[in-house]
Amino acid sequence: MRIGLFGGAFDPPHNAHVALAQAALSQLALNVLHVVPTGDAWHKPRTLTPAHHRLAMCQKVFESVPNVVVDDMELQRQGPSYTVDTLAALRERYAGAEFFVVLGLDQATRFAQWHQSQQILAWAQLAIADRPLDAAEEATSPEWHNPQHLHLNMPLMPLSATDIRQRCRTGGDLTPWLSPSVIQYIQNNHLYLDNHDRSF
């Protein structure tokens, strides 16, 4: 079996996340892609939206994507969320499978700082999706240029969750970026109305 792991804050999950999941499923010929909202995001300088909201939005946006499992294992785990621990759990669940860690280029620029990054590489291949980088990110992105990693071919989508949360606060149009079900969920639960966003 070929198993993918796509983790992130998903705060909120947007159309670029869905496009990346679809590209990974198709181009990596995955049997299953586990979409895993992060629990305690040790690397984020801001407090994430409560886990049950992020999980519910992921379930809504990915419910129509075949072979995606929205997995709450990191939300159930105490302490910091580390991809290496999630990958270890999936290796137990799918003995003998081939594993792929799916990530955007913005995450790939920081991969060397991930907890036990070399162990992740021993267990799985990185599958990196392109996205716009600034000059500083490009200069410090060895993972993008590493021939051992796979590259997912997908249209550039200059979109960040930070921008979307700002649009929520200012009443901007969300329809180009979010599914109708997620927009409705955000409105029903009055999410992203604070003004303390410092990271994407």
**Is residue 176, in this structure, part of any structural domain at all?**
no
pTM above 0.85, yes or no: yes
Q: Is residue 143 in a domain?
A: yes
In a domain, 166, yes or no: no
Q: How high is the pLDDT of residue 56? A: 98
Per-residue confidence band for 153, with pLDDT thresholds at 50, 70 and 90? confident
Its domain, for residue 129, covers: 2-159
CA distance 125 to 131: 19
Confidence band for 200, pLDDT divided at 50, 70 and 90: very low
18: pLDDT strictly greater than 90: yes
Residue 200 maps to a domain: no
Is residue 72 assigned to a domain? yes
Question: Does residue 189 lie in a domain region?
Answer: no
CATH of the domain at 23: 3.40.50.620
More confident residue, 9 or 130: 9
What's the number of domains the chain is made of? Answer: 1
pLDDT score recorded for residue 34:
98
- % of the chain surpassing 70 pLDDT: 85
Q: What digits encode the pLDDT tens for the residues 160-192?
A: 899 999 999 999 999 999 999 999 999 999 999
The model's pLDDT over 103-136, given as tens digits with 9 standing for 90+, comes to 988 788 889 899 999 999 999 999 998 755 555 5
Q: Is residue 173 part of a domain?
A: no
Confidence (pLDDT) at 155:
77
pLDDT, tens digit, 9 for 90 and up, residues 28-85: 999 999 999 998 665 555 789 999 999 999 999 999 999 999 999 999 998 888 999 9
